[in-house]
Amino acid sequence: MVLTPILTAHWDEADSYKLEGYKRHHGYVALAKALKSDPDSIIQTVKDSGLRGRGGAGFPTGMKWGFVPQNDGKPHYLVVNADESEPGACKDIPLMLANPHALVEGVAISSYAIRANHAFIYIRGEVPHVIRRVTNAVKEAYAAGLLGQNIQGSGFNLEVVVHAGAGAYICGEETALLDSLEGHRGQPRLKPPFPAVAGLYASPTVINNAETIANIPYIIRNGADWLKQWGTEKSPGFKLFAVSGHVKRPGIYEAALGTTMRELLEHAGGMRDGHTLKFWIPGGSSVPMLTEAHLDLPLTYEDMAAAGTMLGTGTPMVFDETTSVVKAVSRWLQFYKHESCGKCTPCREGTYWISGLLKRLEKGEGQETDLEKIDELCQQIMGRSFCALGDAAATPFPGAMKHFRTEFEAGVRTAADIAFDPAATTIFSKANV
Amino acid sequence: MTIDNTPVELVTLTIDDIEVQVPKGTLIIRAAEQLGVQVPRFCDHPLLDPVAACRACLVEIEGQAKPQPSCAMTVAEGMKVRTQVSSVMADEAQKGVMEFLLINHPLDCPVCDKGGECPLQNQAMTNGRGESRFDGEKREFEKPINVSDRERCVSCARCTRFADQVAGDPMIALLERGSQQQVGISDDQPFDSYFSGNTIQICPVGALTSAKYRFRSRPFDLVSVPTTCEHCASGCSLRTDIRRGNVMRRLAWDDPQVNEEWNCDKGRFAFPYVQEGRLNQPLVRGEDGLLHPASWTEAIDVAAKGLAAASGATAVLAGGRHTVEDAYAISKFARAVLGTDDVDFRSRPHSTEETQFLSSVVAGSGLGVTYADLEKAAHVVLVAFEPEDESPMIQLRLRKAVRRGRTKVTAITSHVTSGNKKLNATVIATAAGHEVSALSELALDANTIILVGERAASVTGLLTAATKKAKESGAKLAWVPRRAGDRGAVDAGLLPGLLPNGNSLTDSSAREKAADIWNVENNTLPFAAGRDFGAIVHAAVNGELKALLITSVDVEDTQHSASTLQAIENTPFVVSLEIRPSSITELANVVLPVAVVTEKSGTFIDWEGRPRNFGQAIREHNKLTDGRVLAMIADAMDVLLGQQDVAQLRAELAQFAAPTNRVDAPSHGADVPNGLTLSTWNQLIDDGALQEGEPFLAATSRNVIAGLNSKTAAAHSIAEGDLIEISTSLGSITVEAIFVDGAENTVWLPTNSGESKVRTNLGAAHGNIVTIKRGGGQ
Ligand SMILES: Cc1cc2nc3c(=O)[nH]c(=O)nc-3n(C[C@H](O)[C@H](O)[C@H](O)COP(=O)(O)O)c2cc1C
Ligand code: SF4
Ligand code: SF4
Ligand code: SF4
Ligand code: FES
C-alpha cells in the first residue's frame, strides 16, 4: 500500500497554511470552476463521487446536501463541524493547522452548492492556535475576494464566521452544535425536524465534518471518478488516518480507504521495541476495540461494520501489552460521564453509575456481581439514550469484555496499577527510549 | 361560537395487537391512553412541546431496532406498536430507565411533599424493579434556589418548558451538564412570574415545593373539592385541598375549555383570607356609638327596622365579588324589598355609557367569545385591557395561539408591557383617554376578536366605539371584567335600570314579569332607572340618603376613597354584609358576617359568559350566604322571599326570559382629555383585600414604579430613577420614574400597589388628567 498525499501533500512546505502556498498547488481553482457551474451539478458531482462524511457516521455527503429544500425562501446555512473532541481523534486539527485553505475553499464551494450565504466553522475551543490559523485563512480569502460579496464577479455572496466552542464534547453532535452556535447550552435537539429542513435558526442547514468539506475542492477540480480510484465501491476515496498510541511514529497517514491496520502500523514504524499489540480501536473511543486478529481487515466503513465495530473518525489508537484494559475503559467512562450533557436519563445516570463501578474495579475493590451489572447497565443505555453519546458510552466495556474478560475479573481483587505497571505504559518509560 | 367542521384525518395502527384509529399527528403515548394503556412518563406533558428526555416511555415499534420514545413520535398508518404490555423490549427499556432515575434519588419519600401523589413513586411501583442494585454514593446539591430540592429532580424539564413556552417567563433553566444538571435561576434575575405555582404542580417529583405548603400536610390527610377561583373573571377550575376545615392548598384543575391545566399564583396562593381575621359574629352599634357583638336575631331585627324606616331613601352598593346567585339575591332585595333602583356593583370607576353598554351588549348574552375562539382567531385586539394582570388565563391562551403562529395580537394601551411582549403584540401606544381614535383607525375583519377591559369605562366614547367597530367589521367583541363576580352581577341586574338577564326596568312588561317571579305587587318595584354607584355616593355625601346596604365593597376600589367614606358617614343607617372587618364595617350600624367562597356553593360567570358552578368546600363554619341573610332581613320586614338557598335563587333567575326590549346601545362621542393623563390598571398581585396574609405571594409582586415615555419625562426635567410626584387636586403619589416604550403625555401607575394607591391618594381613574413633577415629597 502506498500513501496518497492529497490533503497532506504540501504540509512540509513552510507556507502550506497561507493563501500563497495553497494557490501554488491549484488552490481555489475548484472554486472558480464551481462558480461557473450550476449548483445542482456540484451536488451531483459530490453524490457521484460517493464521498462519505468523515465525522464518524460515514453518511453520504451528496445525499445530505440533496435533502436541503430549494427555493423555500429561507436562508440556508453551512456549518462545518470542527469540534473534534473524540478521545483518539486528531485529524481535523492538524488539517486546519497545515492546510486551512482547503477547508475554506471547500466551505465556499459547498455553500454555493446548497445556496447558503452564511457559513460557520465551529472549532473546539481548546485549540486557540487552530482557531487563529483558520481565522487568518478566512481573512486572507476575504482580502483576495474569495469570500464576501460578489465572489470573483459571480454574484455569489458568502459570509464565513469562525466560531470557538466552549469545551464540550457534546457540542460535536450536530444538533447540540447548532444550539451552541445559537447561544444556547449545547444539548442535542429532538429530530425530526432534521437540520436539512430546520437547522440553524430553524432554517435548512448542512452540517459536515471539516475533513469532509476539505475533500470538496479536490473532487470538484478533478471530478467524481477521480475520487473513486481509491477505496472501495462503498467507501471511495482516501482518509486522514491519525495513528496514536504505542507505535514508534504516531501521526497522520493519508491513505486510501481499504488500507489495513497492518499497513498503517508499518508506516507508523510498528509497535514500540520489545512490545506487542494488545488491542486497537479503529476510530475513536466510541467504537468497539479490535485485536491482532483484525489487523488485515480493510479499513472501510463496510468492513469495520462487518467486524462489529465502526471506522468512526478513522483515527486508530494502538495499545500494547503494558496497558490495563480495565484502566483504559475506566478512563473512557469517566470521559463520557464528564461529557454527558445530562438531557436524557440513561446516559446521565448510567455513566454516573458505571464510571463509579469501574473506578472501584480499577482499584481492585470490585464486587463479584459488578461485571454482570456493568454489562446490563450498558445494555440499559445502548439504543435507549437520546443521542449517540450515550451509545458511545455503552460501547467500550462490552467490547473490552469480549476480549479481556479475565482482566476485568481480576479487578475484583487486584488493582490495575498492581497488575500493570503504570510507568511501563507511558511514552517516557525506559522501554521506549 | 363557530364549530370547526373540517374532517379529521384518521390513522389506523395497532397497539399491543389492538387496532385503534386516532387523528393524524397524535403522539403514540396519547393513542395508547385511548386503549387504557398507561405508558410511564416524566417529561411528557400534553400542553408542552415534547422533549423525549427522560426516556421512561420507550416502546417497541415493529421494524425499528431500538425502542422509541412514545411521547415524541406520532402515529403512522399501519404502525405496529408494542408497549410494556406486550413487548419485552419495551418493558425492559422502561424498567432500565426507572432504575436509572432512582439511583440518585434521595430516600425522602417520608418527608417529601409529593409523597403519596408522586408520579415517580407510582411509576417506580408499576414499571420499576423491586430491588435497588445501586450501592454507590448518591449525588448531592447545595440548595441555593429557595424551595427546591435538586436531589429530587429528574431533569424532565417540565418546569423550564412551562416557564419558557406557556408563561413566557424563561427565568428558570437547566444548568450544568451530565449528572450535575440541575434547575437554576440566574443570579440577577429572580423567577418573577405570575405563573410559577404551576411548575410545582407539574413537577413529577417533589423537587419544587411551595413555601406555604412545604412540610405541612400529606395528600391522604386532605379532602379535595373541585372549586372555581374567586379572584378574577378568567374562571379557573381549581381543586381546593382541605384538612379539618382549613384550606391547605389550591391547585389548578384540568378544564380544557377554560384554564386547561394552569392557573395563576394569585388563584393558587391567595387564600389565607378565607380563614384569618374573619368576622364571625353580627355586630350592632350601641348607644355608646361602638360596635358590639349581637345575636343574629337582634342584628337582623335592627337591620330590618333601620332599612324599613329609611324607605324611599335607600341605596345598595354591591361590589363585584358575588356569585351570580348572591348577586341576584341583592338585585332582587333592592327592587322587591327596598323598592329602590339605586343599585350598582361597580365600586371601581364607571360611567353611564358603561351602564348602557353592559345593559345592551353584555347582560344576559350568554356564552359569547370563548377561549377556543381566541385560539382560533386570526387577530385579537386588546383595548384598554392588560391580560397578564387582569385575566391571566387569557394571557396564557393568547400566548399559546401566538406561538402556534396563526394569531396576531394588537394592543391599544399606553406602553409596551411585559405581558404584551410575551404575546409578540403590535402595541399601538396610546395616551390614556385617547383610545377611541386609535381603535377607529384599525382595519378589522370578521376573523378578529376585540377584547375590551374594565378601564374602558372611564374613557368617554370608547365602549361606543368598540361596539360600533365590531358591528361594522363583523369582528366579535367581548368585555373582560376583572372581578370574578362582575359578569354575574351584570346578568343578575345589579345595575341601575337593569333587571336580571338583560331585561330593562323601564320595560313595563319586563317589570311585570319580575314582580310576578318575585311574588310582590308590581307597584312596589321602582319604575324609573336609579342612580349608579358614583351618583349614590354623591347623593349620600350630600345627605340625601337615609340608609345604605353595602356588600363586599372595598373603598380602595372606588373612584375616591375619602368621598366614599364620607358618603357612609353622612348616611344615618348603614348595613354591611362582609367577610372581614374593613373601613366600611367600622362605620356601619349593623355588620352581618357572610360566607366566603369556600363556605358556600354557587356560580361565577367567567368573561366568556360561561357558568362556573362550584360546591361547598367547607361545611364546618356554618356561615350564611348573602342571599340567606337578605332573606332573613326581608322576613323581618314582612316580605317573604323563602329560604333563598342557592337552588331557589338559581331556579328563580332561570325564569327570567331573554329581553324583548333591550336597553339601547350607547352612542357617546369621544371626549379627548387635554393634558397629561393617567394610565392605570390593577396589577395581578397587589394590595387587594383578598390577597392579605400571604407574604410569599406578596413578595412576587412587581416593583411599584411610574412608567413614562422618556420625551415626556425630559419635558418635565425628569431622569430615569428620579422620584416623581403625580398629583390631582385631591392628592399625590410619589414613586420612582421608569422609562417605558410608550405614548407621550401619559404616565402609568399601578392602581393599588404599595405607594401607588391611585383611588385613595389621587381620586383618579384611567384617562383622567394628572400633573407630574420631579422630586415630590422627598
Ligand atoms: C457526542 C458526539 C460528538 C461528535 N463530535 C463530532 C466532532 O467533533 N466532529 C464531527 O465532525 N462530528 C462529530 N459528531 C458527528 C456529528 O454529529 C455529525 O454526524 C457530523 O458532523 C456530520 O458530518 P459528516 O457527515 O461530514 O460526517 C459527533 C457526534 C456525537 C454523537
Ligand atoms: S445521550 Fe442523552 S445525556 Fe447523553 S449526551 Fe446525548 S442527550 Fe445528553
Ligand atoms: S424540578 Fe421537577 S419539573 Fe423541573 S426538571 Fe426537575 S423534576 Fe422536572
Ligand atoms: S387566572 Fe384568575 S381565575 Fe385563574 S387562578 Fe388566577 S385569579 Fe383565579
Ligand atoms: S416521557 Fe417520553 S421521554 Fe420522557
pLDDT score, position B145: 43
Please report the DSSP string for B451-501 in residue order.
Answer: EEEGGGGGSTTHHHHHHHHHHHH--EEEEE-SSTTHHHHHHHT-BTTB-GG
Query: To the nearest whole angstrom, how far is the Cα of B11 from the nearest Cα of chain A?
Result: 19
Which of the four CATH numbers 3.10.20.740, 3.20.20.300, 3.40.50.150, 3.40.50.12660 does domain B10-202 have?
3.10.20.740
Q: How many of the other CB atoms lie within 10 Å of CB of A409?
A: 17
Q: Rounded to an integer, what distance in angstroms lies between the CA atom of residue B165 and that of residue B406? A: 16
Q: At B513, which amino acid appears? A: K
Q: Is A344 in the pocket of ligand 2 (CB under 6 A)?
A: yes
- Residues B296-348+487-493+525-614+624-654, CATH architecture: 3-Layer(aba) Sandwich (3.40)
- Measured in Å, residue A356 CA sits from the centre of ligand 2 at 18
Distance from CA of A349 to the nearest CA of B (A): 6
- Burial class, A47, CB count within 10 angstroms (exposed 0-12 / middle 13-18 / buried 19+): middle
Contacts of A175 in chain B (CB under 8 A): none
What lies within 8 Å, CB to CB, of B52 at 6+ separation is A190, A344, A386, B43, B69, B71, B72
Instruction: Report pLDDT digits (tens) over B9-20.
Output: 999 999 999 999
Cα B347 to ligand 4 centre (Å): 20
Distances (CA, A) of B185 to B146, B297, B388: 10, 58, 22
Judging contacts by C-beta atoms under 8 Å, the chain B residues touching residue A340 are 177-179
Cα-to-centroid distance, A345 and ligand 5 (Å): 10
Distance CA B230, CA B604 (A): 8
Instruction: Tell me which chain B residues have a C-beta less than 8 angstroms from the C-beta of A350.
Output: 100
Question: Residue A283 CA: which ligand is closest?
Answer: 1
| C-alpha distance from A129 to closest chain B C-alpha (Å) | 27
Please give the Cα distance from B359 to B530 (Å, whole number): 14
Q: Is the dihedral of CA B517, B520, B523, B525 positive or negative?
A: negative
Distance from the Cα of B150 to chain A's closest Cα (Å) equals 14
* Exposed / middle / buried, residue B537 (Cβ in 10 Å: 0-12, 13-18, 19+): buried
How far is Cα A124 from Cα A130, in angstroms, rounded to an integer?
9
Residue B469 CB partners (closer than 8 Å, separation 6+)? B439, B440, B442, B444, B450, B475, B477
Distance between Cα B235 and ligand 4 center (Å) = 7
Q: CATH second-level architecture of B677-774?
A: Beta Barrel (2.40)
Ligand 1 center to A287 CA (angstroms): 13
Cell of A268: 507508523
CB of B356 shorter than 6 A to ligand 4: no
Which chain A residues have a beta carbon less than 8 Å from that of B129? none
Q: What is the dihedral of CA A36, A41, A46, A47, to 10 degrees?
A: 180
Ligand nearest to the CA of A187: 2
For the range B755-758, what are the long-range contacts, defined as Cβ-Cβ under 8 Å and sequence gap of 24 or more? B755/B704, B756/B704, B756/B706, B757/B556, B757/B561, B757/B687, B757/B733, B758/B678, B758/B680, B758/B733
Residue of A61, A81, A205 to test ligand 1 pocket, by largest number of atoms within 8 Å of CB: A81
Ligand 5 pocket, Cβ-based, cut-off 6 angstroms: B 41-44, 52-57, 69, 71
Query: Among all ligands shown, which has an atom nearest to the Cα of B30?
Result: 5
Dist. CA B646 → ligand 4 center (Å) = 23
Atom of ligand 4 nearest to the CA of B235: 3
* Strand B246-252 relative to strand B237-243, pairing: antiparallel
Q: What is the CA radius of gyration of chain B?
A: 28
Give the DSSP letter string of A14-66. Answer: TTTTSHHHHHHTTTTHHHHHHHTS-HHHHHHHHHHHT-B-SSSS--BHHHHHH
Please tell me whether residue A391 adopts helix, strand or coil conformation.
Answer: helix
Cβ atoms within 10 Å of B377's Cβ, excluding its own: 21
State how far the Cα of A113 lies from the Cα of A108, in Å rounded to an integer.
Answer: 9
CA separation for the pair B621, A412 (Å, rounded): 68
**Cell of residue B664, nine digits:** 339601547
Taken in order B756, B757, B761, B767, the sign of the CA dihedral is: positive
- Ligand 3 centroid from CA B207, angstroms: 6
DSSP codes joined into one string, A301-313: HHHHHHTTS--TT
Residue A54 alpha carbon to ligand 1 centre in Å: 8
Kindly state the helix (H) or strand (E) to which residue B167 belongs, with its residue range: none
- Nearest Cα to A246, choosing from A428, A429, A403, A425? A425
Cβ atoms A61, A54 nearer than 8 A: no
With 50 as the cut, is the pLDDT of residue B146 above it?
Answer: no
Please choose, from the candidates B52, B70, B72, B73, the residue with its C-alpha nearest in 3D space to the C-alpha of residue B16.
Answer: B70
Residue percentage of chain B with pLDDT more than 90: 89
Give residues with Cβ within 8 angstroms of B480, minimum separation 6.
Answer: B233, B385, B387, B390, B391, B394, B451, B452, B453, B454, B607
Q: Do B177 and A340 touch (CB under 8 A)?
A: yes
B378-432 per-position pLDDT tens digit: 999 999 999 999 999 999 999 999 999 999 999 999 999 999 999 999 999 999 9
Q: Is the pLDDT of residue B157 over 70?
A: yes
**What backbone phi and psi angles, to 5 degrees, belong to B767?**
95, -10
Say which amino acid occupies A247: V
Question: Please, which contacts does A181-185 make with residues 24 or more away whose CB atoms are closer than 8 Å?
Answer: A181/A79, A181/A120, A181/A122, A185/B173, A185/B174, A185/B175, A185/B177
Chain B: nearest CA to A326, how far in angstroms?
A: 19
Residues of A in contact with B151 (CB under 8 A): none
Cβ atoms of B444 and B417 within 8 Å: the answer is no
Whether residue B84 is predicted with pLDDT greater than 50 in this model: the reply is: yes
Backbone angles phi, psi at B363, to 5 degrees: -55, 130
- In DSSP terms, which residues pair with A212 in a beta bridge? none
- Contacts of residue A383 in chain B, CB cutoff 8 Å? 65-67
Query: In the CATH scheme, what is the homologous superfamily, with its name and number, of domain B359-481?
Result: Dimethylsulfoxide Reductase, domain 2 (3.40.228.10)
Measured in angstroms, the CA of A186 and the nearest CA of chain B are apart by: 9
Instruction: Return the pLDDT at B720.
Output: 96
B441 touching A (Cβ < 8 Å): no
pLDDT of B500-550, one tens digit each?
A: 999 999 999 999 999 999 999 999 999 899 999 999 999 999 999 999 999
> Which residues in chain B touch residue A353, judged by CB atoms under 8 angstroms apart?
100, 103, 134, 136
Q: How far apart are CA B145 and CA B174, in angstroms?
A: 13
* Superfamily name with CATH number, domain B219-269: ADC-like domains (2.20.25.90)
Partnered with residue B705 across adjacent β-strands are B736
Taking an 8 Å cut-off on Cβ atoms, the answer to whether A345 and B174 are in contact is: no
ipTM value = 0.94
> Where, residue-wise, is CATH 3.40.228.10 in chain B?
359-481
Query: CB of B697 within 8 A of CB of B588?
Result: no
| Helix H or strand E segment including B531 | none
Give the closest of B54, B154, B179 to A352, CB-based: B179
Nearest CA in chain A to B173: A185
Q: Are strands A251-256 and A159-164 parallel, antiparallel or unpaired?
A: unpaired
Mean pLDDT of chain B: 95
Considering only CA atoms, which residue is closest to atom 1 of ligand 2?
A390
Ligand 3 atom with the smallest distance to the CA of B155 is 5
Residues 6+ apart with CB under 8 A from B403: B165
What is the edge-to-edge ordering of all strands in the sheet holding B448-453?
A: B426-429, B408-413, B379-383, B448-453, B476-480
φ, ψ at B319 (rounded to 5°)? 80, 165
Q: Tell me which chain A residues have a C-beta less than 8 angstroms from the C-beta of B96.
A: 346, 379-380, 384
> Does A357 sit within 8 Å of B136, measured CB to CB?
yes
Cβ of A63 closer than 6 Å to ligand 1, yes or no, is no
Is the minimum CB–CB distance between B136 and chain A shorter than 8 Å? yes
| Closest residue in chain A to residue B42, using alpha carbons only | A345
- Check CB contact under 8 Å for B179 and A343: no
Contact A352 B177 (CB under 8 A): no
Q: d(Cα A281, Cα A88) in Å, to the nearest integer?
A: 9
Residue A424's Cβ-count burial label (10 Å; 0-12, 13-18, 19+) is middle
Chain A residue with minimal CA distance to B105?
A349
Rounded to whole angstroms, the Cα distance separating B532 from B307 reads: 19
Residues 6+ apart with CB under 8 A from A329: A358, A396, A397, A400
Contact between residue B286 and residue B292 where contact means Cβ atoms under 8 Å apart: yes
CA angle A75–A79–A84, rounded 5-degree value: 170
Tally of residues, chain B: 778
Return the pLDDT at B143: 54
**What ligand has the least distance to the C-alpha of A188?**
2
Q: In ligand 3, which atom is closest to the CA atom of B152?
A: 7
Q: What tens-digit pLDDT sequence spans chain A (433 residues)?
A: 579 999 999 999 999 999 999 999 999 999 999 999 999 999 999 999 999 999 999 999 999 999 999 999 999 999 999 999 999 999 999 999 999 999 999 999 999 999 999 999 999 999 999 999 999 999 999 999 999 999 999 999 999 999 999 989 999 999 999 999 999 999 999 999 999 999 999 999 999 999 999 999 999 999 999 999 999 999 999 999 999 999 999 999 999 999 999 999 999 999 999 999 999 999 999 999 999 999 999 999 999 999 999 999 999 999 999 999 999 999 999 999 999 999 999 999 999 999 999 999 999 999 999 999 999 999 999 999 999 999 999 999 999 999 999 999 998 999 999 999 999 999 877 654 4
Look up residue B359 and give its three cell numbers: 345593559
Residue nearest to atom 2 of ligand 3 (CA): B203
Going by C-alpha positions, the residue among B332, B455, B451, B355 that lies closest to residue B397 is: B451
Residue A320, strand partner residues: A277
| Contact assignment for A343 to B155 by CB distance below 8 Å | yes
Q: How far does B713 lie from chain A, in Å, by closest CA?
A: 36
Torsion of CA B165, B168, B171, B175, to 10 degrees: 20
Q: Which CA distances in Å does A231 have to A90, A215, A240, A255, A322?
A: 21, 14, 13, 9, 34
Residue range(s) occupied by CATH 2.40.40.20 in chain B: 677-774
- Name every chain B residue with its beta carbon within 8 A of the beta carbon of A349: 100-101, 103-104, 179
Cα gap B733→B771, rounded to integer Å: 11
What pLDDT, in 10s, does the model give residues B624-662? 999 999 999 999 999 999 889 999 999 999 999 999 888
Judge whether B433 and B462 are in contact, CB under 8 Å.
Answer: no
